[in-house]
Amino acid sequence: MRDEALLVLFLLFSGSAALLYQHELLATGAAPEPETEGGESLGYALALPLLFILALNLYLILFRSGAFLKVLRLVILASAYFSYLLVLLLALALLEALFPQLGFLFLLVLLTGALLPLLAPERLKPWLRNLQLASFAGVAGAALAEYLSLPGLVLALALLAVLDYHYVVRRKVIPELASKLEDAGVPMGVEVGSGEHRLLLGLGDLLFAACTAAVSYAELGLALGVAAVLSVAAVFLTFLHLAAGGTEKAYPALPAVFLAALLVWLMAEVYGVIGGV
């Protein structure tokens, strides 16, 4: 149960990072207008499953190249590190706005946080890498949220959940690919535990969970953005509990993310019906 709780904590951190980045986009006016986003959202929602299939097949072809795997590993690690720095900077900037007298202390925290992943003891590096990868998924999820409305995201997740189940459970393509990428040192997601108790939540699952939070915040406000983060965590924890009694070595997580997004959408619709929105 400890490993499951740790995995959910990283999921919560990724969702919080998405909310933080989405807040910055909204505060600076970088986020698109909801009506513009909604008009194009259906097209993006239908394109995502096609991109999923295309990317999967490209990986199956390119993973045989050692040079490609080295570049992929470098890109993911660099993106994760800089996303972690961005999230740290945004969090400290928010705190500094509340407590301006502590500006110098926040600067020291920023410098320490920037150096910690590079200089930390080996036993801490897996946890710091998880933080960086969760930050990457949060920032990427918030960036993807710029192109999707909440109904469009629910539609995309419904289609992706079917594909995820098909390629993970039925054809077992994704677990085999993940194993080969892992052997090459390419980070696949947030990982806790070891041996038979090892749990891994893929970057794609984290990304769409974070996207759910960011879209909810952008369209419905911070309260429902936070509700989305908590909903994803609750559904995923239930999913882990149910999967613990199963016989499969790998389970698709996107169906859980889809259920959480659907729950948030239904909450918004009910709230709208009773006159809240």
The total number of structural domains that make up the chain: 1
Q: Which two tokens stand for residue 126?
A: 């897996």
Q: Is residue 9 part of a domain?
A: yes
Task: Return the pLDDT at 36.
Answer: 41
Q: Which tokens belong to 152?
A: 């469009």
Instruction: Lowest mean pLDDT of 20-29, 66-75, 174-183, name the range.
Output: 174-183
At 241, the pLDDT band (50, 70, 90 cuts) reads: confident
Mean of the pLDDT values across residues 250-263? 92
pLDDT band (50, 70, 90) for residue 275: low
- 128 falls within a domain: yes
Per-residue pLDDT at 127: 94
User: Mean pLDDT for the chain?
Assistant: 89
Task: Tell which wins on pLDDT, 56 or 275.
Answer: 56
Query: What pTM value is reported for the model?
Result: 0.92
Q: Which residue has the higher pLDDT, 38 or 172?
A: 172
- The answer to whether position 245 is within a domain reads yes
Residue 82 lies in a domain: yes
Residue type, 266: L
Q: Label residue 35 by pLDDT band (50, 70, 90).
A: very low
Residue 272 placed within a domain: no
Contact call for residues 228 and 261 (beta carbons, < 8 A): yes
Q: What SS3 state is found at 201?
A: strand
Structural domain harbouring 24:
2-267
Identify whether 275 is part of a domain: no
**HSE value, Cβ hemisphere, 13 Å, CA-based, for 233:** 19
Query: CA–CA distance from 61 to each of 64, 65, 89, 176, 254 (Å)?
Result: 7, 8, 38, 13, 24
Mean pLDDT calculated for residue range 7-32: 90
The helix or strand, by DSSP H or E, that contains position 191, with its residue range, turns out to be strand 189-192
Maximum Cα interatomic distance, the chain, rounded to a whole number of Å = 57
More confident residue, 141 or 240: 141
Task: Report pLDDT digits (tens) over 130-189.
Answer: 999 999 999 999 999 999 999 999 999 999 999 999 999 888 899 888 888 888 889 989
Q: Residue 189: which H helix or E strand, with range?
A: strand 189-192
Q: Which of 99-103, 160-164, 236-240, 272-276 has maximum average pLDDT?
A: 160-164
How far apart are the C-alpha atoms of 138 and 208, rounded to whole Å?
A: 9
